[in-house]
Amino acid sequence: MKRPKLKKASKRMSCHKRYKIQKKVREHHRKLRKEAKKRGHKKPRKDPGVPNSAPFKEALLREAELRKQQLEELKQQQKLDRQKEQERKRKLEASPDVVPSHGESVAEEFGQGKAKKAKLAKQNPKKLYCQELKKVLEAADVVLEVLDARDPLGCRCPQVEEAIVQGGQKLVLVLNKSDLVPKENLENWLHCLERELPTVVFRAATHLRDKGKAMKVKKKAAPYRSAVCFGKEGLLKMLRGLQETCGKAICVGVVGFPNVGKSSVINSLTREQSCAVGVSMGLTRNMQAVPLDKQITLLDSPSFIVSPMNPAAALAMRSPASIEVLKPVEAASAILGQADARQVVLKYTVPEYTSPLEFFTLLARRRGLHQKGGSPHVESAAKLLWSEWTGALGYHCLPPPSWACPPHLAERTVAAMKLGFDAEELRRNNAQSIQAIRGSRLATSLLFQSWGLTNGIIEETDIAEDLPREHRDKDDPDCHQEGVDGEEAQEESPAACPAEGGALAMEPPASESGQGGQTGARVAQPLSPAKPTGGDDDYDFSTDYV
């Protein structure tokens, strides 16, 4: 029987099946893209280049071409060095008795020393801060020293001001965060600072649109965030007047201690997020040039490095947490010793306390900060207090009753600094800014005792090398004890324990010791957390009561 001829199967399929296959393929591709995104493999974006409307386009293109050439030269030099190293190794393997020449040994030592210096620079960022600050001071024609209006005197660094005076640049004081102090206190400080240097009242805008993106409006924003900037017009008029007086393009350096708002001032003037800002300290680590217009360029700088010879409160509030070893209990205790005890009790709604440790225990119970087992977490309460006082908490310092100019600001220097400024227009702009700013009330603002000018470090040689943790503990075990373990650490004050540089902290000036004697004496209270004494109200969760 003849076998029937079999037909080939048809490749046609129903629409339902075809659409289902296409859907499965799309889901598979989507899954692969998500996994690649998690691993960090992103599609490289094409460089859009510099638009024609961008200022300084030719200079930017020249800089990019110069950087490209430098990278090519560096690659070629590295390639030649590798080839030389390989030839030298081959010669040594071929004839092991041959001693390397003096030039090769010197080159080896030089290369090792260079690598060692680079390693030390990576380990100690304070030296990088000093290098970048020097670049800003050398390149700037006008320097804006940003001060925190809550403590203007504690934000001034005499070493940096003296370097600016010796360099011949103009120095202008900018009172930022003016909305966190009462208006009466702001006017008193402005009257005090205007005697020395030109001063501008400022309140930076903290809610700005990203560069090249539209601003996203949130329904519930933080209470201290605002899109309105005060003092910008007066500061811009002053800078443009100085530029017209100089008759050339000028660079304006913005300097100051951590968290005073240097980058926020630049963002407010440019009305864009040109510089990175945040709650944490020490975000700016390198000099950054931001063009304001064709004639004015703003230079953002890293913060000043605080000298270890300052009082404990200055070290606690003016040291970047990212480059300093933060001890929350000691730092918060030093801050608490400079504040008025009654107002602190009313602010945090806790009972009266006799020591910082007792206050942190009460605050931890009040805010629900507990350790495993139910005991209050003293260190978390100290961190909370420190973050609030270095953040957006409203407090104020009283200006000194009789204040003389610092030694680096002589009468001739003060007169030279005020040349080229319209004093009447500056005073009028400051009055308008104070009138428009909605400051805090004097009754609710906390009183803080200022310690005076804060000493800083400019030279890299003055920065002590950071020892590893184990070496520091061996050299000085008493100052690195944990507060929970020993009772001897409770008897030491924050000024008695050396700071990171190894020197003792200085006592507050004599002019400040008269104000609030009880608050000044509170600095010598115990700083380290200790185990709470057994009382009737205490309950030990680790014990099984039957």
pLDDT at 72 > cutoff 50: yes
Query: For 175-208, what is each residue's pLDDT tens digit?
Result: 998 989 999 999 999 998 888 888 999 988 766 5
> What one-letter code names the amino acid at 518?
Q
Which domains, and CATH codes, for the chain? 126-209+227-307+395-447 (3.40.50.300), 312-394+477-524 (no CATH)
Q: How many CB atoms lie within 10 A of CB 542?
A: 8
Cβ burial, residue 488 (10 Å; 0-12/13-18/19+): exposed
Indicate if the pLDDT at residue 372 is higher than 70.
yes
What is residue 218's predicted lDDT score, i.e. its pLDDT? 42
Tell me the CA distances in angstroms from 158 to 223, 256, 262, 314, 409, one per residue in order.
34, 11, 18, 14, 9
The answer to whether the beta carbons of residues 449 and 397 sit under 8 Å apart is yes
Average pLDDT over residues 55-78: 88
What is the percent of the chain with per-residue pLDDT over 90, rounded to a whole number?
A: 14
CA distance 144 to 417: 12
Instruction: Read off the DSSP letter of residue 488.
Output: G
Identify the pLDDT of residue 209. Answer: 54
Whether the predicted pLDDT of 336 surpasses 80: yes
> What is the band of 361 on the pLDDT scale with cuts at 50, 70, 90?
very high
Evaluate whether 133 touches 255 at the Cβ level (below 8 Å). Answer: yes
Average per-residue pLDDT for the chain: 76
Closest CA to 181 of 438, 395, 392: 395
Lowest mean pLDDT among 3-7, 176-180, 424-428: 3-7
At residue 412, the 3 state secondary structure works out as helix
Question: Partners of 300 in the beta sheet?
Answer: 254, 288
Task: Name the residue with higher pLDDT: 54 or 500.
Answer: 54
Average pLDDT over residues 155-182: 90
Residue 279: how many other CB atoms lie within 10 Å: 11
Cα–Cα distance for residue pair 246/241, rounded to 1 Å? 9
User: What's the pLDDT at 397?
Assistant: 92
Distance, CA of 128 to chain centre: 14
- Report which of residues 21 and 491 the model is more confident about: 21
Q: How far apart are CA 223 and CA 363, in angstroms?
A: 23
The answer to whether residues 439 and 142 touch, using CB atoms and an 8 Å cutoff, is no
Q: Are strands 250-255 and 142-148 parallel, antiparallel or unpaired?
A: parallel
For residue 23, the tally of other CB atoms under 10 A from its CB is 10
Higher pLDDT, 503 or 436: 436
How many other CB atoms sit within 10 Å of the CB of residue 343?
A: 16
pLDDT at 456: 87
What is the band of 217 on the pLDDT scale with cuts at 50, 70, 90? very low
What is the rounded distance in angstroms from the CA atom of residue 260 to the CA atom of residue 279? Answer: 11
- Per-residue pLDDT tens digits for 91-131: 888 775 555 554 455 455 545 555 554 554 455 677 888 88
Using a 10 angstrom Cβ sphere, with 0-12 exposed, 13-18 middle and 19 or more buried, the burial of residue 490 is: middle
What is the full DSSP assignment across 201-253?
Answer: E-B-----PPTTSPPPPPSS--TT--S--BSHHHHHHHHHHHHHHHTS-EEEE
> 125-159, pLDDT tens digit by residue?
778 888 888 888 888 899 999 999 999 998 999 89
Per-residue pLDDT at 412: 83
Rounded CA-CA distance 188/439 in Å is 14
Give the pairing type, strands 288-291 and 296-300.
antiparallel
Residue type, 425: E
Q: What is the pLDDT of residues 254-304, one digit of tens each?
A: 999 988 888 888 888 888 887 877 666 767 777 888 888 888 999 888 888
Residue 528 clears pLDDT 90, i.e. is over it? no
| Dihedral, 497, 501, 502, 505 alpha carbons, nearest 10 | -40
State the Rg of the chain over Cα.
Answer: 31
- Please state the φ and ψ torsions of residue 53, each to the nearest 5 degrees: -80, -5
> Residue 493 — very low, low, confident or very high, per pLDDT cuts 50/70/90?
very low
> Rounded to whole angstroms, how far apart are CA atoms 506 and 232?
38
Beta-strand ranges (E) seen in 276-399 are 288-291, 296-300, 305-306, 395-396
How far apart (Å, rounded) are the C-alpha atoms in residues 274 and 410?
Answer: 37
Query: To the nearest whole percent, how much of the chain has pLDDT over 70?
Result: 72
pLDDT at 526 over 70: no
Nearest to 301 by CA among 181, 458, 166: 458
Q: Is a pLDDT exceeding 50 seen at residue 488?
A: no
- Give pLDDT, residue 273: 81
Measured distance between the N- and C-terminal CA atoms of the chain, rounded to whole angstroms: 99
pTM of the model: 0.61
> 3-state class of 298 per DSSP?
strand
Q: How much is the pLDDT for 439?
A: 81
- For position 175, what pLDDT does the model report? 92
Note the pLDDT tens digit of each residue in 24-50.
999 999 999 888 888 876 666 777 788
H helix or E strand, kind and range, residue 477: none
pLDDT at 389 over 90: no
| DSSP-assigned states of every residue in 112-178 | HHHHHHHHHHHH-HHHHHHHHHHHHHHH-SEEEEEEETTSTGGG--HHHHHHHHHHT-EEEEEEE-G
Q: Which two tokens stand for residue 207?
A: 């809610």
pLDDT of residue 16: 95
Q: According to the model, what pLDDT value does residue 21 have?
A: 96
**8 falls in which pLDDT band (50, 70, 90)?**
confident
Q: Give the C-alpha distances (Å, rounded to integers) separating 218 from 206, 208, 391.
A: 13, 12, 21
- Residue 443's Cβ-side half-sphere holds a number of Cα atoms within 13 Å equal to 0
Per the structure block, which two tokens stand in for 13? 């399929």
Q: Which pair of structure tokens corresponds to residue 112?
A: 């090792």
For the beta carbon of residue 277, count every other beta carbon within 10 angstroms: 19
Token representation of residue 341: 């005890």
Which among 339, 390, 320 is positioned nearest to 177, based on CA atoms?
Answer: 390
CA distance 453 to 124: 25
| Distance separating alpha carbons of residues 514 and 47, to the nearest angstrom | 63
